[in-house]
């Protein structure tokens, strides 16, 4: 089968129409016809070879909503069926048999999980992934906005599971962009008390409307220092280096500072920031198939939807430029129009 896509032929290039022969469907694979695909900063990083791991041509896109169009032989009896609405996120494959996979830690597969982008991604008419990474969608889910939950959403949902966040928890979120705004909405759905840390005062009204209890200016040292000892968890979604010490001090006893933002400079953590109060600094990547299924059920039941702007996939370069320029409100989703 020939699949139509948009690909970067070299690092940093504009995407061009690209058709490739997909070959026979492997036994464990599911083929999905793409309806929508979100745009993530990780797509830009792979297109630009920012991480040094890209192999060109790159077909990015890993926040896919679509319909199953074919099932491999070993995927026939896994609860999936042709025509079913499903999603595919960051990961496309894992070995299924190593200790990590058996223990539900497929993203830490000892034999190497395969990212969707490195498996030919969702900026395309179709894509393929192993059956366990093809996530069934609840019937009531809005498919036009759901895509970003499969990467950005699970990235901020996983820390809430890791740290046992509940309705009595006090949580701070640093950076209210594509990831941070989803964190606020999920925390509100779970009943937690939410403080947003933002450097953009113009976002205050919209951040409160998302469900934050308060917004604190992240550039105001006095405001940060006034929060000492308050938070069970602070999630950092930013990819820039900040003065982290006020956030460490803002943790309650046994509080956790958790990063999901890819800050390239090492964190400077004074030992006594952790020793005093039994605090910890943690991090995480994306989630397991089980966690993804839980997220989609919660989002459907609690009506949690990312705030998105839509572009036709044929205008993909305009959409990527919009994201590069920091103009996305708050995420961009492409509608397939091949």
In angstroms, the CA 138 to CA 190 distance is 19
The pLDDT value given to residue 265: 87
If you search the block for the tokens 């792979």, which residue do you land on? 46
Q: Where are the beta strands (DSSP E) in the chain?
A: 2-7, 16-21, 29-39, 64-71, 85-88, 91-93, 114-115, 126-130, 135-136, 170-174, 193-198, 214-217, 231-236, 251-259, 280-283, 308-312, 331-335
- Distance separating alpha carbons of residues 14 and 110, to the nearest angstrom: 35
How many whole angstroms separate alpha carbon 238 and alpha carbon 259? Answer: 8
| Confidence band for 310, pLDDT divided at 50, 70 and 90 | very high
Please compute Rg for the chain using Cα positions.
Answer: 20
Q: Which of 64, 2, 8 is nearest to 36 (CA)?
A: 64
Q: What confidence tens digit (pLDDT) does each residue in 37-59 have? A: 999 999 999 999 999 999 999 99
Q: Which residues contact 16 (CB under 8 A, 6 or more apart)?
A: 6, 7, 9
C-alpha–C-alpha distance, residues 330 and 209, integer Å: 14
Question: What pLDDT, in 10s, does the model give residues 155-166?
Answer: 999 999 999 999
- Is 0.85 surpassed by the pTM of this model? yes
pLDDT tens-digit map of 177-227: 999 999 999 999 999 999 999 999 899 999 999 999 999 999 898 999 999
Distance CA 288, CA 43 (A): 20
pLDDT tens readout for residues 228-264 = 999 999 999 998 899 999 999 999 999 999 999 988 8
């Amino acid at each position: 089968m020939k699949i139509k896509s948009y690909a970067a032929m070299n690092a940093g290039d504009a995407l061009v129409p690209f058709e490739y022969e997909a070959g026979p469907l492997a036994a464990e694979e599911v083929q999905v016809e793409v309806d929508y695909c979100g745009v993530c900063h990780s797509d830009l990083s792979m297109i630009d070879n920012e991480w040094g791991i890209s192999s060109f041509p790159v077909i990015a896109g890993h926040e896919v909503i679509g319909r199953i169009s074919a099932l491999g032989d070993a995927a026939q009896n896994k609860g999936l069926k042709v025509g079913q609405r499903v999603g595919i996120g960051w990961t496309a494959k894992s070995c299924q048999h190593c200790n990590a996979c058996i223990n539900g830690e497929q993203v830490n597969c000892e034999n190497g999980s395969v990212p969707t982008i490195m498996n030919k991604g969702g900026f395309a008419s179709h894509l393929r992934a192993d059956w366990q990474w093809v996530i069934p969608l609840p019937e009531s889910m809005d498919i036009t906005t759901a895509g970003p939950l499969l990467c950005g959403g699970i990235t901020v949902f996983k820390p809430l599971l890791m740290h046992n966040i509940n309705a009595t928890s006090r949580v701070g979120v640093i950076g209210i962009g594509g990831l941070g705004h989803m964190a606020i909405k999920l925390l509100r759905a779970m009943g937690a008390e939410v403080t947003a840390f933002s450097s953009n005062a113009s976002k205050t009204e919209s951040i409160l409307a998302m469900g934050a209890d308060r917004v604190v200016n992240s550039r105001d040292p006095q405001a940060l220092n006034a929060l000492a000892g308050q938070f069970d968890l602070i999630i950092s979604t930013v990819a820039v280096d900040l003065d982290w010490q006020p956030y460490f001090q803002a943790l309650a006893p046994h509080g956790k500072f958790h990063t999901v933002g890819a800050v390239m400079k090492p964190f400077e953590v004074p030992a006594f920031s952790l020793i005093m109060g039994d605090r910890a600094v943690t991090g995480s990547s994306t989630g397991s198939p089980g966690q993804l299924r839980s997220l989609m059920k919660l989002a459907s039941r609690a009506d949690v939807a990312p705030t998105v702007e839509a572009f036709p996939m044929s205008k993909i370069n305009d959409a990527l430029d919009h994201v590069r320029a920091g103009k996305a409100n708050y995420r961009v989703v492409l509608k397939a129009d091949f």
